[in-house]
Amino acid sequence: MSRMEPSSAIVRRSLHDELVDRVGRLIVDGRLSPGQKVPEKELCARFGVSRTPLREALKVLAAEGLVTLSPNRGAAVSEVTEADLDEVFPVMGVLEALAGELAAARITEKELARIRNWHAAMLKHFAVRDLAGYFALNEKIHDAIFAAARNETLSAQYRQLAARVRRVRYVAKMSDRLWTKSVGEHEQMVAALEARDGRRLAAVLKRHLATKQRTVRVWLAKQSPSVPR
Amino acid sequence: MSRMEPSSAIVRRSLHDELVDRVGRLIVDGRLSPGQKVPEKELCARFGVSRTPLREALKVLAAEGLVTLSPNRGAAVSEVTEADLDEVFPVMGVLEALAGELAAARITEKELARIRNWHAAMLKHFAVRDLAGYFALNEKIHDAIFAAARNETLSAQYRQLAARVRRVRYVAKMSDRLWTKSVGEHEQMVAALEARDGRRLAAVLKRHLATKQRTVRVWLAKQSPSVPR
DNA sequence: TGACTGAATTTTGAATTCATAATTTCCTAC
DNA sequence: GTAGGAAATTATGAATTCAAAATTCAGTCA
């Protein structure tokens, strides 16, 4: 008997697992905004499921910090304060540094080549100041570095923290100065990877993240006065 | 009206939240052993709750890596393989290092004094080779360092990883040589804290964790042949 | 008008129910 | 006696139900 196409096969994940993803995405890319109550009923209707699996998913999202549960008043999308960023970024920093060290030691030629290509494409987006395209490739490159680090635990921890700040991170319009700086850092990242210099890559990634934090900070400061509640 | 004893007060957390703790503890301190299926029914009876909140808790524990869910066959306590340790320890390492740097900068005299006391008490337990007493204080000291780092995100991430390995970590009988080494490292930790030398503390913590990993490795290697499945 | 009270409604947390998948038991054929 | 397979049992995933809490709304009185 012939095996079914893996792509067409319905990999029957449990509903709650699927929902963690779907609802998480709604939050991360801003379709549910911070502070807003999670509309349980509406989401049940939208996804065609009952409250049970949805609520299971919300518990998981709460453990990951994307939603906040208050007793007898349900779930709300977590807000991202400046204090949160001050907590999260340093942790992301050391995780990225570790990823860099491991990746430099373990990355294959093939993976490196792919990153080089993405980097080149990213430069083109930068040239015409196409932020969305830039970010998409930027994220791919970072993911590839974590993949090359071959440490699923490390990647998972990072992903979790990244999700908490991404909605801020990827909305933050960069000033041209910071953007240029960021591109330069990416240049150095690729160079360090090619030299397989883990220490240097770690340092670059840390500096890069600091740049990002500054970008976000600027954005958040501009934003928060206009967000009353 | 007089206030009730906090210990007797029923702080009405949601059931699932309470259960994440209780079941998590069962796993972490080995009352449910790795590989074993989580006895849903039995736990419901034991805690006097229905399956709904228990299953919510299991989803959260699965996200934290303490249990593993397989479609249509429920939850089982996750096993800890050597490969897991190779993933988890490096991450814990960088988190501890960061905690050390932050703690050195932020710790108060009072907190430092408390750590000094615990350290002294720990030495007494070491003198008579009282492993349980030693571990209890050891853990307190590490917790205190994270508390002094004033970064809840950092602490939470660390706690999560620590839970995954603790059942191995705190069962592992240390060889006398490694134990002595460990005590020496603790000595250096306190010294670095007193000097508020973050860099040095980070280095010591990293070395200390490496020692611990070696301890666990030895234990796991001895163990695994006798565990058939 | 406007603050307060209390009933009606909605929302939440958790138990129960129900359909389906997995496992066990028991029977049959060899 | 054992392998195979059907029926019974149990476990699992998810929907539904139910009680209690929160919220909304309406009416009363100052």
Check CB contact under 8 Å for B95 and A91: yes
Q: Please give the pLDDT value at position B23.
A: 97
Residues A58-104: tens digit of each pLDDT: 999 999 999 999 999 999 999 999 899 999 999 999 999 999 999 99
Decide if B194 contacts B112 (C-beta within 8 A). yes
Q: Which two tokens stand for residue A31?
A: 């379709």
Q: How far apart are CA A198 and CA B114, in angstroms?
A: 38
Q: How confident is the model at residue A29 (pLDDT cuts 50, 70, 90)?
A: confident
Q: How many CB atoms lie within 10 A of CB B24?
A: 17
Q: What is the pLDDT of residues B170-198, one digit of tens each?
A: 666 778 888 999 999 999 999 999 999 99
Rounded to a whole number of angstroms, the CA Rg of chain B reads: 19
Distance B166 CA to D2 C1' (A): 46
pLDDT of residue B225: 55
Q: What is the DSSP letter of A29?
A: T
CA of B162 to C1' of C23 (A): 35
Angle between helices A152-169 and B82-106 (to 10 degrees): 50
pLDDT exceeds 50 at position A10: no
Angstrom distance, B158 CA to C24 C1' = 43
What is the spatial distance between Cα B200 and Cα B188, in angstroms, rounded to a whole number?
A: 9
Name residues 14-43 of chain A with a Cβ under 7 Å from nucleic strand D. Answer: 14-16
Q: Tell me the average pLDDT of chain B.
A: 88
| pLDDT band per the 50, 70, 90 thresholds, residue A37 | very high
Residues of A in contact with B165 (CB under 8 A): none
Q: How far is CA A14 from the centre of its chain?
A: 24
Q: How far is CA B105 from CA A42, A115, B71, B99, B148, in A?
A: 48, 38, 47, 10, 9
CA-CA-CA-CA torsion sign (B54, B60, B63, B65): negative
Same fold, B15-77 and B82-226: no
Give the architecture-level CATH label for domain A15-77: Orthogonal Bundle (1.10)
The pLDDT assigned to A169 comes to: 65
User: How near does any CA of chain A get to the CA of B107, in Å?
Assistant: 17
Range B79-94 average pLDDT:
94
Residue B82 touches partner A, C-beta closer than 8 Å: no
* CATH label, A82-226, candidates 2.40.480.10, 3.30.1330.30, 1.20.120.1630, 1.20.120.530: 1.20.120.530
**Kind and range of the H or E element at A67?**
strand A67-70
Query: Where exactly are the structural domains of chain B?
Result: 15-77, 82-226
DSSP string, A169-180: HTT-PPPHHHHH
Q: What is the pLDDT of residue B5?
A: 33
Which of A12, A65, A95 is opposite residue B94, by nearest beta carbon?
Answer: A95
Is the minimum CB–CB distance between B94 and chain A shorter than 8 Å? yes
pLDDT at A2 over 80: no
